[in-house]
Chain A
Amino acid sequence: MSILQRTACELVGSLRRGELSSAELTQACLDRIRAVDGQVGAFLRVDEQRALEQAEAIDQRRAKKQALGPLAGLPVAVKDVLCERGELTTCASRMLADFRPPYDSTVVAKLKAADAVLLGRTNMDEFAMGGSTENSAFQVTHNPWDLARTPGGSSGGSAACIAAGMTPLAIGTDTGGSIRQPAGLCGVVGMKPTYGRVSRYGLVAFASSLDQVGPMTHSVEDAALLVEVIAGHDPRDSTSLDEPVPQYSATVNEPLAGLRIGFAKEHFAEGLDAEVDQAVRAALEEYESLGAKVEEISLPHGKHGVATYYVIAPSEASSNLARYDGAHYGYRTDEQEMLIELAAQRKQLQAAGDQRGLDNLDSALVRMYRRTRAEGFGPEVKRRIMLGTYSLSAGYYDAYYLKALKVRRQIRQDYDRAFEKVDLIAGPITASPAFKLGEMTDDPLAMYLVDLYTVSANLAGIPGLCLPCGFTKAGLPIGLQLQARALDEERLLRGARMYEQATDWHKKRAPL
């Protein structure tokens, strides 16, 4: 087996025993990237020289028997939405194409402190808004299992680089499913921790009450290793939870006796692809044969999840993205052109004697804002800002935003009730496997509906994980989603690992 087919945990062992150097491993990743990323397009930027320097430095420290972090020498790819001081952080947007943050995000700082090798930045939907990575301003990412299909989104680049064996570890972010859905569509493991489990300091904000950073890996064991490193209270993120981080990596291989698994009857309704239905049901049977008790539960408000999410997330986004105005950093429109346009319009209105028109004319500053944002943002981002602005505006706030917040609580209450009877909820991650590139670009609402199974976990703040549970006849991955109570990552990981160890899906690699 090539080193690139091995899990991060296996590689850590080899690195520690001196069977493999980090420089060799990093070079193997870089070679693989050079060989296949032309077809996949997972990476926005790869810093070969820096990665090799980091790797060599770690090899030297290891040779001197110095203390090393838990990820020492392991290459990690990071979704281009987390700040790193002095390095480009673009969010796949023209608005931030040249943006270099003046500080490290907590997650990146923790990866560095753990001695990971930062390989490069992965492609994403612009500002994390999308479910296919097609909204990137820079490039398209292809699903390694079928290059004509999307890898999902918005963490499509991170999912694809794991699936194509370009790196053993990757970081994604999940606001409405953006780690779990691409993990499912790319046949890898992706986990969204409990809201507040991982610091959002330095994570470019999309929807502040929903965003979470999480691991994308080949195995649940690797996810446990990575999430343990990035989790923890951060005084610089006032929404981060002041709770100790359990040693997930130490317990992940311990099966759970007496595990109670629920499946929501609403998840198996019309619209679910027959092959997905079959694979997920087979997974439930596998859990039964492992000694778990499987029973039906109900999440009655789940069907309102997409609507609730597509009011709340765009509302929060409209506020968060107001900062991109061309004033302090990022893209600014061409001021000369703008002033010429202003002068021309003013002249025209004066000539026509249109005083009202003159009074309503956008000032230079407002014009700068409007043009900067029109030129810097892509269509999906604009759509969501518009949707959010509308939902929050006077006259609509109660009917949309406030209403959605109430349904949000009901969605959370459904979970609380279900978790009185079961410990984990299992079900599909998407209704269908990976769709073709371009299939949904003209139908934003259809794209939003793909999020049906994933948004509720973000709305409720609970953790969710997706792992492979089969393949369609056409060879496309099928994902199984597991959800757990807030702060119950340990049970979630152990429960997922039980299934993983009993099956072979996670060992399959894309034939690229």
Chain B
Amino acid sequence: MAITRQDVEKVALLARLQLSEAELATMSEQLAEIVGYVDHLAQVNTDGVEPMAHAIERSNVFRDDCVVESLPREEALAGAPHHDERGYLVPAVLGD
């Protein structure tokens, strides 16, 4: 499956990565090579084989539904690049 520059730009947006011109060019080449290599998996006969997402399959690992302490607000904000003591501050989501 050939990877076009457009594919790479689209994936970069999905991944929230800004790539420079040079990076786009290199990334397109390298991804094409790597994807070309993993493409051979298509030839492996996996008829009747269930996907295995987890090596050691456990399910329904629950804890009791009781209230426990969570991280105090100031600790949660301690590493924030920009905050107002109440919450995290980020640039506008919509508009300006």
Contact = CB atoms under 8 A, between A and B. Distances in A.
Interface of A: 98-100, 102-103, 194-196, 209-210, 235, 238-239, 241, 301, 304, 306-308, 310-311, 318, 322, 325-332, 335, 338-339, 363-371, 373-374, 377, 379, 382-383, 385-387, 389-390, 393, 399-400, 402-410, 412, 444-445, 448, 458-462, 486
B6 to A, nearest CB: 13
A239 B38 contact: no
A363 B79 CA distance: 24
B82 interface: yes
B75 interface: yes
B92 to A, nearest CB: 5
Contacts of A239: 54, 56, 58, 61
Nearest to B12: A386
B3 to A, nearest CB: 8
Nearest to B79: A329
Contacts of B90: 326-327, 365, 368
Interface of chain B: mostly helix, strand, loop or mixed: loop
B2 interface: no
Contacts, number: 185
Contacts of A445: 30, 33-34, 37
Interface in B4-36: 7-8, 11-20, 23, 27, 30-31, 33-35
B67 interface: no
B23 to A, nearest CB: 8
Contacts of B17: 370, 373-374, 377, 382, 385-386
A373 B78 CA distance: 20
A194 to B, nearest CB: 7
15 contacts: A103-B71, A195-B56, A209-B53, A239-B61, A306-B37, A310-B38, A331-B81, A382-B27, A383-B31, A389-B11, A399-B1, A400-B41, A403-B46, A408-B51, A409-B51
Contact of A327 (B56, B58, B88): B88
Interface of chain A: mostly helix, strand, loop or mixed: helix
A328 B18 contact: no
A331 B63 CA distance: 34
Contact of B41 (A98, A235, A330, A407): A407
Given A368-B91, A382-B17, A404 B41 contact: yes
B57 to A, nearest CB: 9
Contacts of A100: 78-79
A266 to B, nearest CB: 15
A290 B1 CA distance: 51
Contacts of A318: 15
B15 A389 contact: yes
A447 B50 CA distance: 30
B68 to A, nearest CB: 10
B94 interface: yes
B56 to A, nearest CB: 5
B55 interface: yes
A383 B40 contact: no
Contacts of A444: 30, 33-34
Contact of A460 (B55, B82, B95): B55
B91 A102 contact: no
B15 A386 contact: yes
A458 B56 CA distance: 11
Contact of B15 (A301, A385, A448): A385
Nearest to B45: A410
Contact of A311 (B38, B46, B92): B38
Nearest to A208: B54
A407 B46 contact: yes
B34 A310 contact: yes
Contact of A410 (B11, B46, B71, B94): B46
B93 interface: yes
B66 interface: no
Contacts of B41: 304, 307-308, 311, 400, 403-404, 407
Contacts of B30: 383, 444-445
Nearest to A196: B56
Given A364-B96, A365-B93, A386-B12, A301 B44 contact: yes
A362 to B, nearest CB: 8
Nearest to A330: B79
A218 to B, nearest CB: 29
Contacts of A301: 44
A364 B27 contact: no
Contacts of A390: 3, 7, 11, 31, 35
Contact of A386 (B8, B53, B78): B8
Nearest to A321: B15
A477 B79 CA distance: 42
Contacts of B78: 100, 102
A383 B27 contact: yes
Given A330-B79, A368-B90, A307 B38 contact: yes
Nearest to A374: B18
Closest 9 CB pairs of A and B: A461-B55, A405-B51, A329-B79, A364-B91, A332-B81, A409-B52, A406-B46, A370-B18, A374-B18
Nearest to B83: A328
A281 to B, nearest CB: 29
B63 to A, nearest CB: 6
A194 B56 contact: yes
| Most chain A CB inside 10 Å of its own CB: which residue of B8, B90, B95 | B90
